[in-house]
Structure 1
Amino acid sequence: MVTITDQKPTMPEVLALYKSVGWSMYTRDPARLERALTHSLMVLGAYEGKQLVGLIRAVGDGETILFIQDLLVLPEYQRRGIGKQLIEALLARFPEVRQRVLLTDDDPKTRSFYKAAGFVESQQMGVIAFYHDQH
């Protein structure tokens, strides 16, 4: 049984989770990742017992925009509904926020997952997304 909580995970737990899904850009600078988590609007963890098995992180103002920055689930726990539970728990905490946005990789599995979770592609809403990367 997985429990979703806003209990702050430890950095070793977080680093292990990010590494397990191959997000090495985050784990190269643990202090920066810790600051990012601290300054996030909300971080929710999914725990099975005492083990962190998933995490969702949101940034924004909590009033007009909610940007889902990270959603991770340990590979051996994927396809069990944990990611969807994390999204639902996060969105339930901000029911009045109109703009709920995320930017993610463009691959069929990812598209399918987010569509099943109720998200639509930006062009279907008559808007366009822009991205500016400093590197």
Structure 2
Amino acid sequence: MKINFNNSKNINIEPLEKLYNDVQWYAYTKDVKVLQQAISQSLDVISAWDREELVGLIRVVGDGLTIIFIQDILVLNAYQNQGIATQLMQQILKKYSDVRQKVLLTEEAPDVRHFYEKNDFHSCDKGSTVAFAKFS
């Protein structure tokens, strides 16, 4: 299996909906047109493809100079644990290596914590920084 990576933000609704539903991120697929618009208006998007199938995606928002916020990183369940998310993350971290603040907000789970820590992210609950979020 050869995974191809693409930097286009122009991704059809159907594969986006399939990917986000597969990982149970249903809040995004309540309105797939808004999801598609969010993708197109992001600072950066890298998608992973197995032939014609969208199997993974990382999406970044921010100014790209002083801060990036990794909004989404997801991989189809059938393709998880094959290094695709790590490759997506490493491409973004390399591209924005000069950006001082690289931020993300995610759920707490042992495998999730392990993934981000192995990619040199540090939890704000273990140090001198604090994170706040307000959800509508």
TM-score tier (shorter): over 0.9
Q: Equivalences for 1:16-27 in 2 at 5 Å?
A: 16-27=18-29
Question: Is the CA contact 1:9–1:52 (under 8 Å) kept in the aligned structure 2?
Answer: no
Equivalent position of 2:130 in the other structure = 128
Cα distance in structure 1, aligned partners of 2:92 and 2:130: 24
Cα distance in structure 1, aligned partners of 2:108 and 2:74: 16
TM-score (normalised: structure 1): 0.94
1:125 is displaced (CA, Å) by: 4.5
Cα distance in structure 2, aligned partners of 1:60 and 1:2: 27
TM-score (normalised: structure 2): 0.93
RMSD: 1.1
Cα distance in structure 2, aligned partners of 1:106 and 1:124: 14
Q: Equivalences for 1:1-135 in 2 at 5 Å?
A: 1-7=2-8, 8-134=10-136
Cα distance in structure 2, aligned partners of 1:94 and 1:131: 23
Q: Structure 1 stretches of 5 or more lacking a match?
A: none
Structure 2 residue matching 1:83: 3-state secondary structure: helix
**Runs of 4+ with >2 A deviation:** none
1:124 is displaced (CA, Å) by: 3.7
Aligned residues: 134
Question: Is the CA contact 1:4–1:89 (under 8 Å) kept in the aligned structure 2?
Answer: no
Amino acid at match of 2:104: L
Structure 2 residue matching 1:100: 3-state secondary structure: strand
